[in-house]
Structures are given as structure tokens and as C-alpha cells.
Amino acid sequence: MTARIERPLSPHMQVYRWTLTMALSIIHRATGMALYVGTLLLVWWLIAAASGPAAYAHVQAFAGSIIGRLIVFGYTWALMHHMLSGIRHFVWDLGYGFKANEREALTWGALIGGIALTVLIWIIAYAIGGGR
């Protein structure tokens, strides 16, 4: 008789070796949730703009503060990362990009691309005078 190897009945996090693809898939979900909160801040800004100069000045003062700029920067990154990860998932839905090297390239592309697009957007915003 051969000895029976005890294995978990269902896979769990202790079984898998963490990969960048796995981490970015989780981050994709987290950025999706963060976009809900950021969209509420965007709605606050739009309502303030429609409410008059005093309400708009209050929101602009918050958005212009250090914490406000960090939040808006984070929102920009979450939006860019979520968009690029969504494209990555769409490519997978089409049946492409499952080979190990393709999967890694798409993952690194989403990670680096999200950061690069965020920085580029902020550079352009400051260049046209949005960062005064």
C-alpha cells in the first residue's frame, strides 16, 4: 500500500506562491473600490461648482491642501491602473496573453503604465497651470 498524501480540499493562499500577476489582480479590485470613494469626492466638487463661489472655494481649498493633492494623486493613479488592468483582463477575455512571458509583460505593462500615465497627467496639469 502506498501512503496517502494529505492535501487541502480547496486551494488557499498558503498553497500558492505569490506572483506579480496575483498581486496586481488583487490591486485591480482594490483600485475599483477606491474609485467609488474618489468618485464621491468628484461629485462633491461638481455639486460645489454648481452651488456657488463659496462652496467651490471650500472644495478647492481642500483639494489644494497637501492631503487633498495626495488624495487626488491617488485617485488619478487608481483610475489609470484600473483602466490598464481592465485592458489586461479584456485581452485575457479575448483568449490572448496566457503564456508566461505574455502574462508577465501585460502585468508589468499595467503596473509601469499606470504609474507613468499618472505622472504624465500631473506633469501636463502643472505645465498648463493647474498646480498654482
Q: Is there a domain that residue 2 lies in?
A: no
Q: Is there a domain that residue 27 lies in?
A: yes
> What domain count does the chain have?
1
Q: Is there a domain that residue 8 lies in?
A: no
Q: Is there a domain that residue 64 lies in?
A: yes
Q: Which three cell numbers stand for residue 95?
A: 483568449
Tens-place pLDDT, residues 11-29: 666 667 788 998 999 999 9
Q: Is there a domain that residue 5 lies in?
A: no
Q: Is there a domain that residue 123 lies in?
A: yes
With 0-12 / 13-18 / 19 or more C-beta atoms within 10 angstroms meaning exposed / middle / buried, residue 68 is middle
Q: Is there a domain that residue 14 lies in?
A: no
User: What predicted TM-score, i.e. pTM, was given to this entire model?
Assistant: 0.83
Q: Which three cell numbers stand for residue 113?
A: 503604465
Consecutive 10-residue averages of pLDDT for the chain (132 residues): 66 74 92 96 97 97 96 97 96 95 96 98 90 62
Check residue 116 and give its pLDDT. Answer: 98
First to last CA, the chain: 78
Domain, as residue range, for 84: 20-128
Q: Is there a domain that residue 100 lies in?
A: yes
Check residue 4 and give its pLDDT. Answer: 72
Determine if residue 82 is labeled as part of a ligand binding site.
Answer: yes
101-104 long-range contacts (CB < 8 A, ≥24 apart) are 103/21, 104/20, 104/21
Angle 7-25-100 (CA atoms, 0-180°, nearest 5)?
A: 75
Distance CA 32, CA 81 (A): 10
Check residue 5 and give its pLDDT. Answer: 73
Check residue 47 and give its pLDDT. Answer: 98
Distance CA 106, CA 92 (A): 10
> What CATH number is attached to the domain comprising 27?
1.20.1300.10
